Structure formats: C-alpha cells, structure tokens
Amino acid sequence: MTGIIPAPAEFALGETPAFVLSGESRLVVTGEGAAAVAETFAAQARVATGYALPVVEGAAAASDIELVVAEGEADGAPEGYTLESGERGVRIGADTAAGLFWGTQSLRQLLPAEIERADAARVPSDGWGVPAASVTDAPRFAYRGAMLDVARHFFPVEDVFSYLDVIALLKLNVLHLHLTDDQGWRIEIESWPELTGIGASTSVGGDGGGFYTKDDYRRIVEYAAERFITIVPEVDLPGHTNAALSAYAELNCEGIARKPYEGVEVGFSSLCASPERAEATDRFLADVTRELAEMTPGPWLHLGGDESLSTSHDDYLDLVRRMTTAAAATGKAVIGWHELGASTELPPGTVGQYWSYVEPEPEASVLTRSFVEQGGTVIFSPADVAYLDMKYVDDPQGPLGGELGVDWAKGPTDLDEAYAWEPADIVPGLAEAQILGVEAPVWTETLSTMSEVEFMAFPRIAAIAEIAWSPAAGAGSRDHDAFFARVAVLGAHLDALGVHYHRVRGVPWHECSDARTAATEVTTGSHADRSAPTWHPAGPLGIRQTARGQDDGDWFGPNIVAPA
Ligand code: TNX
C-alpha cells in the first residue's frame, strides 16, 4: 500500500519493477535551489540508510534520484512537481525549489517507513524500494497552516523544530505561532523588555515560563525556511493581553499593572482605548509590530483580535484601527481572527481567520465576508473540525483520565469529522480565489509537552493537510476508506520518526514492527501504564497532570468571560 498524504492531484502506479535506493545511489541536481533541497533530503536518508548519497551534478543513472528545477517542469504551478519512479531511477521535476521540496516529501512517503529512523540499525526486508509510480501534483490552496500556541505553555526552540519537521512531511507551508496571550508573552521586544521579563514568567497552571530571544526566533524562521515553511507570528490584541498588562502599568487604563495570570479563562483583558493612554498604547503598537516585522521575512503579521469580550464595541473598533494601521506601516499584510471583520477600515489585503463551526454562527459569516468585501481573503479553521486540542471521540476523557484536550466546540472530534468538511461550503458567497487556505491550530491550555501536542495533532492534522492541498472534493465525495488506509502508512512513518499519535479507531493501523509496545498504546492505556518503558526513540509520552490553573471547575467556552 502506498500512502502519500495529502493525496496528489494525479497518482498512478506503474507496471515496471521498483526503484531501489542503494549504496550506489546519488542525488543528481539541476537548477536553482535543487542542491539545497537534495541536501535536506539526503541528511535524513543518510542517517537511516547509512549510504553516502552524494549530491552531484551531471547525468543521472538508473540507481540515482534526479532532482530538477526548471521552467515548465510542473506547468508553472508555483509549488507543483512531477515525480516518476521505477527501474530507470527516480526523477522529480518542479518549476521552483519549493515544488521540488514537496516532491521529496512524497518520495519520503513512497519509501519504506524506516527512512525516518534516527539510526541505520534496520534495512527493510525488501530493501529501500520505491514502487514504479507517476505523480503530477500541485496544491489547491497557497496557505496550508498549522498553529502552535506557545503562550499558554511555552515550547522551546527544539520542540518547534521537531513540529516543523513533521508538518513539512504533510506539505503544510505555514507555521503560525500564537506568541502572546493572557498567560505569557513569548517573544523578545527590545524596546519593551519587561514583556519578556514579568510577561514571560508565567504559564497555565504555574508550569513555568519562557520566551524566544530574537536569535531563537531567527533560528526558527531559518529552520522553517529550509522546509519552505513561512512563520506567521501572532501577537493577540487588544484582548488576551494580560501578560503585557502585567508587565507595563502604563498600558492599563487605571495605570496599575495587572497581576500575572495562570488560569484558562478568556475575554477579561484589554488594551486601553482611552486618550490618556494613547501615547503609551500607540508607542507599544508601533514598537511591537515594527520589531516583529523586522525579524519576520514572511509577508504576514497576525494581530489576533479574538474574544475581546471586555472591550466595548467602540473601543474595539478604535483599537483595531490603531493596531492594524501600525502593522500596515511595517509593510506586512495583517491577519486577524474573524472578529476583526467588525471593522470596515481594514488595511488592503487583510486576511480573516474563521474559527466558528462548519455550520457557522450567523455573526461569524457576516464578519468573515467583511474581509472579502474589503478586498481581503479568508483562512478556514473551523473549531469543531480543525482545532486539534479538541478531545478525540473514541477517547472522550482524553488519555489518562481527562487531562488532555477540551471539548467546547461541538464535543470531541473524530478523524472522520476532521476529514469530512469542505472549506468552500462554510461561508456562502465566497469564491475559491477568496479562500487563502486552511489552518489547524493547537491551543495548549491542557498541553504542556511536545509529546502531548503530537498526540492531539496526529493523525487529525493529516486530514486538515489533505483538505488544504488535495483537489476540491465535496465533503461527501472524499474517499474516506482510501484516506484511512493512507493514514495507516503515515502511522508507520510516525512510529519510525518517534512522533506520538493517537491510534484512532477505524484506521487499519499496521502492526508495530517490533515486539515492544508502541508509545501510542501507552498513552491510551491505564494509569498503571504511564511509566511503562516504550521502544519509542522519543521516550514515553510522560503525561503528567496538567493543572488548569486557578479555575478548576468546568472548562470555559469561547464566549465565557472570567468573573471580575
Ligand atoms: C478559543 S477561537 C480561543 C483560544 C483558546 C481555544 C481553546 C480563538 C481564536 N481563541 O483562546 O485557547 O479556544 O480551544
């Protein structure tokens, strides 16, 4: 079973014998950027196979992988590629280095899963075969995102690297970092040092703080760029700002710094719109957006805008005008959660991120259409299918007794549900060209380790990646069974990578190739299994009790304001 996720636009298995990667194989490159893409592929493949896999120029032999960037290779599609494999070798062609890179991600998935391993201990029983195949592929949407909330819990640079590695496999090309919230400010802003002094010292449940220095952030941007992934930084404004308000008294209407916050309520904090604070607030907005833009090569700044439930409507509109003006002055395009559509003065090209449901709340459609009425576009992240912090249906308590995940959207979310929706069918009246793309957020109120994030993200993120990349198919006409079979192949790759995931029901998961226990079984087992050793290179999931902070009662919904 071959299993490329997301499904290519066109894929056919050939009749000829397989290509076999061997100690003789070379990566033969032509065109701008091809050598760098070859090196990224070879670096991992060398580790797994133990072969030299030199990157060279010249004529390719039947034992080689040829990587070509040249005009017309993928009909001009900016991220498209073609792949041919068989007894005469492998050849991937693309118009751009990005397209070539996505082609190598398909090749990764056509190889045995052991290609992901961090040691060369095992040669697969049939060797390093790639079936004879012919692929012609290009993405449906230009923006294919994952979001990581590093504000509720902080995740170090190495964690972000490992998430980037595995979202690249799924041809996702954006990582949106939710850098600030009530519980923490995670990005260094030199002109406002206390943002990452006081403001970064906290997290949900008192699990400790942290932040990225400018140098850390640049390393993330570079690591992402090697994988053709753009970083979208988010500073959430004007609500979700308790961390900033606790760091600087002058940002508060009362002129008194807020207490740091480690709970999970939303909607209680706001920047101050009043004229007495205008100087400080506008200087804050200008400095933060300027410094963020300077360290971000990508075209977007995300300004949040969601759940500003304690900001009056007039103040909200005033603050949105001021923050979007500041961001636009940096030359970047603005992204905001769909609430930002309440403003009729958005800068040209502002992108709305929809987070209501597959059946939209009426207000959400109106707010979302406002972006396109003002010449912008929309990203879809419907919470009931694309929020990866929702619990799983077949594990409604969450692993180990309800500590991981939330269910406020429409209850827990199954892989089937994550797969069975169509972005063009949500908000009536949007043309395909007005949909910039799709994004899968992971919010981390209940998730404090990368293993926990992985467990919630995989395999559901594969469904979102396929919706983002593969040709349009009405929700009803997606090939559910074929997708689930391909998810099983992905599972074998995740096993080899050491990425945690939930073995959701309905997927014909492969046997673990080892007598040892899969980490994923440990996660869903009883409490007694928690400390059981696993074969996993990543080690045991290590789930611990993730405290919910001060409010240990019912989980919040998106519209619940914290008690005063
Ligand atoms: C809603 S929807 C939020 C986040 C929470 C998340 C938890 C939206 C833009 N914001 O503040 O972390 O729910 O699932």
pTM of the model: 0.92
Collapsing DSSP to helix, strand or coil, 134 comes out as strand
Distance of CA 230 to the CA centre of its chain: 11
Q: Is-contact 522 540, C-beta < 8 A?
A: yes
Which residue do the tokens 């807020």 mark? Answer: 258
Structure tokens at 363: 């207000």
The protein residue with its alpha carbon nearest to ligand 1, atom 14, reads 443
pLDDT band at 3 (very low <50, low <70, confident <90, very high): confident
Q: Residue 518: pLDDT above 70? A: no
Nearest CA to ligand 1 atom 6: 443
Pairing of strands 27-30, 19-21: unpaired
Sign of CA dihedral 52, 55, 60, 65: positive
Using one digit for the tens of pLDDT, what is the confidence trace for 88-118?
999 999 999 999 999 999 999 999 999 999 9
For residue 406, the ligand 1 atom closest to its alpha carbon is: 14
Q: What six digits make up the tokens of 186?
A: 């995670």
Least confident stretch, 159-173, 213-227, 533-547: 533-547
Question: For residue 2, what pLDDT band results from cuts at 50, 70 and 90?
Answer: confident
Q: ∠ at Cα 340 (471, 243), nearest 5°?
A: 110
304 SS3 class: strand
* Residue 396 pLDDT: 63
| 478 — pLDDT class (breaks 50, 70, 90) | confident
HEC string of 4-55 equals: CCCCCCEEEECCCCCEEECCCCCEEEECCCHHHHHHHHHHHHHHHHCCCCCE
DSSP structural state of residue 348 = T
Which tens digit of pLDDT belongs to each residue from 19-72? 999 999 999 999 999 999 999 999 999 999 999 999 999 999 999 999 999 999
Angle at 174 between CA 171 and CA 176, to 5 degrees: 140
> 307 an active-site residue?
yes
Q: Long-range contacts of range 284-287, CB-CB < 8 Å, 24 or more positions apart?
A: 284/192, 284/244, 284/248, 284/251, 285/237, 285/322, 285/323, 285/326, 285/327, 286/326, 286/329, 287/189, 287/191, 287/192
Kind and range of the H or E element at 310?
A: none
**Per-residue tokens: 179:** 């850098």
pLDDT of residue 514: 45
- Residue 548, pLDDT > 70, answer no
What is the rounded CA–CA span in Å between residue 115 and residue 492?
A: 10
| Ligand 1 close to Cβ of residue 407 (< 6 A) | no
pLDDT given for residue 473 in this prediction: 74
Cα–Cα distance for residue pair 242/256, rounded to 1 Å = 12
Q: What is the pLDDT of residue 475?
A: 60
User: pLDDT band at residue 545, thresholds of 50, 70 and 90?
Assistant: very low
Candidate of 181, 269, 307, 309 to mutate for ligand 1, largest count of ligand atoms within 8 Å of Cβ: 307
Take atom 13 of ligand 1 and give the residue whose Cα is closest. 558
DSSP code at position 333: E
Residue 250: is its pLDDT beyond 80? Answer: yes
Residue reference for tokens 């082609």: 103
Say what the pLDDT of residue 413 is: 95
**Cα 403 to ligand 1 centroid, rounded to whole Å:** 17
User: What pLDDT, on the 0 to 100 scale, is given for residue 399?
Assistant: 57
Averaged confidence pLDDT in the chain: 90
Q: Which residue, by CA, sits nearest to atom 1 of ligand 1?
A: 558
Q: What percent of the chain has pLDDT over 70?
A: 88
Which listed residue (116, 188, 234, 307) is catalytic? Answer: 307
Q: Collapse the DSSP code of 73 into the 3-class scheme (helix H, G, I; strand E, B; otherwise coil) and give the result.
A: coil
Pairing of strands 65-69, 128-130: unpaired
Q: What's residue 120's pLDDT?
A: 79
In our burial notation (b when 16+ CB lie closer than 10 A, e otherwise), range 467-494 reads: bbbbeeeeeeebeeeebbebbbbbbbbb
The answer, yes or no, to whether residue 543 has pLDDT greater than 80, is: no
Looking from the CA of residue 353, the nearest atom of ligand 1 is 9
**Is 469 close to ligand 1, i.e. is its CB under 6 Å away?**
no
354 CB less than 6 Å from ligand 1?
no
User: Among 122-131, 277-286, 329-338, 355-364, where is mean pLDDT lowest?
Assistant: 122-131
Q: Per the structure block, which two tokens stand in for 216?
A: 């850390």
Give backbone dihedrals phi and psi of 352, rounded to 5 degrees, phi first: -100, 135
Q: Work out the end-to-end distance of the chain between its first and last CA atoms, rounded to an integer number of angstroms.
A: 57
pLDDT at 165: 96
Closest CA to 482 of 510, 515, 518, 507: 507
Please name the amino acid found at residue 337: W
Q: What is the pLDDT of residue 39?
A: 98
Mean pLDDT in residue range 466-477: 82
Ligand 1 atom having least distance to the Cα of 409 = 14
Name residues whose C-beta falls within 8 Å of residue 179's C-beta, 6 or more positions apart in sequence. 150, 151, 185, 186, 187, 212, 233, 234, 235
Q: What is the pLDDT confidence band of residue 561, given thresholds at 50, 70 and 90?
A: very low
pLDDT tier, 171 (very low <50, low <70, confident <90, very high otherwise)? very high
- The verdict on the CB of residue 542 being under 6 Å from ligand 1 is no
Ligand 1 pocket, 443 CB below 6 A?
Answer: yes
Ligand 1 centroid to Cα of residue 91, in Å, is 44
Tell me the per-residue pLDDT of 280-322, one tens digit each, with 9 for 90 and over: 999 999 999 999 999 999 999 999 999 999 999 999 999 999 9
Is 452 a pocket residue for ligand 1 (Cβ < 6 Å)?
Answer: no
Tokens (6 digits) for 9: 């636009």
pLDDT at 123 over 90: no
